[in-house]
Homo-oligomer: A and B are copies of this chain.
């Protein structure tokens, strides 16, 4: 069987292969990217599913508008408005997770050979998704404050990319938060170079203390012309439940209408059953309390992980402790002649029954083999301390 040529640009995630090792009994895993299921508001969803079938018995089980289920769109608009980014009904569509928003952007924007700029490192599935549409993916360097905007500008000027993809707030895998000043500069670049900037924002609500700076979407009203070159991907996965597979895409009208056309032929519409349940859940107003609980627990775990890392690994690693999200991004320093290959370190760690993800696959170009990602989201404090202790032994 001869497959489409586009498959040659892509491979199954290296992380996915690693995950097959995680079945080992007794292993402590910091490798995942999943939220903690113990924090899901199961009781709230049980009530919401009953309520949804009561309010919309026909609509919740029927085909729906490709653009999304009205009552859910109302609730998403309220969430967005609460974060200083008001949305009209036709400013956005509901997508089957924000992964589908990325897929639709790729399908609508990328012709084979087009260039796309992403952060180095960035979300692995974005790199692969865009490569499947034939993109040449270029890496812009980051530091603890997110993407380096001067270098980003130079890359835009040089490569004239079809789009720039960023996770400005608590990035995956970097955990970094783009500063307010840099956010404004990114929006200026979008308008100046007439280049689409895609803001992926699944983690913005998961701050530990102070809220992060406003999203690019919220700031775009202050930067003339930038809204015409901005797409924003939102998600309920990290604040409510990934199992619903609900995200949304805000985009300029022409892009949005092409995305709707492509979505018709991708999955017709996002599960109205899941959308109706989410709408009923949001109407019940249980989300603020549930998210506060997630924030509190993740903040404790992040703090415990930072302390454990300092104690157990000391100068062998460097990292910026994140102020939100789910991830630590670390670098082996090689201090005192220690290990600098995160892949080898990960293998030895699995032998000691602790897992994390080597960082190289997160780079579209010039991978840094010394980096790795750890998630604190699904481990309690005792596991975090014990897991990091095992890492110290493995090192």
Q: Chain A residues in contact with chain B, CB under 8 A?
A: 1-7, 10-13, 16, 34-35, 37-38, 40, 42, 45-46, 49-50, 53, 57-64, 96-97, 99-100, 102-103, 107-111, 114, 125, 128-129, 132-133, 162, 196, 229, 237, 241-245, 252, 254-255, 258, 260-262, 264-274, 276-277
**Docked complex Cα distance between A276 and B37 (Å):** 15
**Docked complex Cα distance between A255 and B7 (Å):** 11
Q: Which residue of B lies closest to A130 (CB)?
A: B265
Choice from B40, B60, B99, B267 contacting A97 with Cβ under 8 Å? B267
- Asked whether B111 lies within 8 Å of A1 as measured between CB atoms, the reply is no
> CB-CB < 8 A to A64: which residues of B?
243
**Docked complex Cα distance between A178 and B98 (Å):** 40
> CB-CB < 8 A to A252: which residues of B?
1
- Asked whether B107 lies within 8 Å of A4 as measured between CB atoms, the reply is yes
> CB-CB < 8 A to A196: which residues of B?
1
- Asked whether A99 lies within 8 Å of B7 as measured between CB atoms, the reply is no
- Asked whether B255 lies within 8 Å of A272 as measured between CB atoms, the reply is no
Copies of this chain: 2
**Docked complex Cα distance between A50 and B48 (Å):** 10
Choice from B12, B57, B61 contacting A242 with Cβ under 8 Å? B61
**Docked complex Cα distance between A133 and B38 (Å):** 41
How near does chain B come to A156, taking the closest CB pair, in angstroms? 15
Contact A243/B272 with A37-B61, A50-B46 known, Cβ cut-off 8 Å: yes
> CB-CB < 8 A to A128: which residues of B?
264-265
- Asked whether A264 lies within 8 Å of B13 as measured between CB atoms, the reply is yes
